Amino acid sequence: MSRHEDDRSLLETCVEGRVAYDGSFLKVRSDRVRLPDGRLAKREYVVHPGAVMVVPVLDDGRLVLERQFRYPLGRVMIEFPAGKLDAGEPGLRCAMRELREETGYVARQWARAGVLHNAMAYSTEGIEVWLARGLSPGPASLDEGEFVEVFTAWPQQLEAWVRDGTVTDAKTLIGLLWWQQWQAGLWCPDWQDVDDSNQASSTP
């Protein structure tokens, strides 16, 4: 469905904005907005710097995944590698950095799949989804206080974990969707070769 030509009947405009919480990573805003019918309402939301997620595919078809404890949920989650963007950092560079730091893998080819807004009702976060192939293993370099278990699984295993509720992470579900559509020939990623100096060049 294409974007509607005129969104004015749905727009909300900020009347008064304030920062309710300013943390080292996230900010929470509490704004008063004017609704399309003229009434006022409150909107509370998290300001997020943005992130990337990588779907790393080994030559034999297995996927590289991670297990890590997610404190808000109080449980270990299965996820694709991901991390937040540094200020001014291009998405591809962040994806390469996060893959190398968290898993030790370096990829020879990359393709940008798209952007995921995983919590648009209460967060500005957008997650760039990247596919990576031509992987070479190496040592991981986790941040201080970061504990991640890296493992590989066949796509059919990941699909089964989604079906039985073992995997519920939104970005990982979207990453699997992209992998499925690519494998089925329905979506065609624009692959780029990436050399050792982290410079990307288009390939046919």
43 with 88, same domain: the answer is: no
The structure tokens 């989604």 sit at 162
Query: How many domains are contained in the chain?
Result: 2
Q: What pLDDT was estimated at residue 195? A: 77
73 with 29, same domain: the answer is: no
115 with 167, same domain: the answer is: yes
60 with 39, same domain: the answer is: no
- Alpha-carbon gap, residue 4 to 8, rounded angstroms: 10
| Within-domain flag for 201 | no
| Within-domain flag for 166 | yes
Q: What pLDDT was estimated at residue 197? A: 52
CATH number of the domain encompassing residue 83: 3.90.79.10
| Within-domain flag for 1 | no
155 with 78, same domain: the answer is: yes
23 with 67, same domain: the answer is: no
> Could you tell me the pTM of the whole model?
0.89
| Within-domain flag for 203 | no
| Within-domain flag for 6 | no
32 with 77, same domain: the answer is: no
| Within-domain flag for 195 | no
29 with 110, same domain: the answer is: no
Q: What pLDDT was estimated at residue 164? A: 98
161 with 124, same domain: the answer is: yes
Cα–Cα distances (Å) from 22 to 42, 45, 78, in that order, read 18, 12, 29
143 with 97, same domain: the answer is: yes
| Within-domain flag for 204 | no
Q: Domain range spanning residue 31?
A: 13-47
Q: What pLDDT was estimated at residue 144? A: 85
167 with 89, same domain: the answer is: yes
21 with 119, same domain: the answer is: no
Catalytic sites, residue numbers: 144
Mean pLDDT by 10 residues, the chain (204 residues): 70 93 89 95 93 98 97 96 92 96 97 95 94 96 89 98 97 97 96 70 44
| Within-domain flag for 192 | no
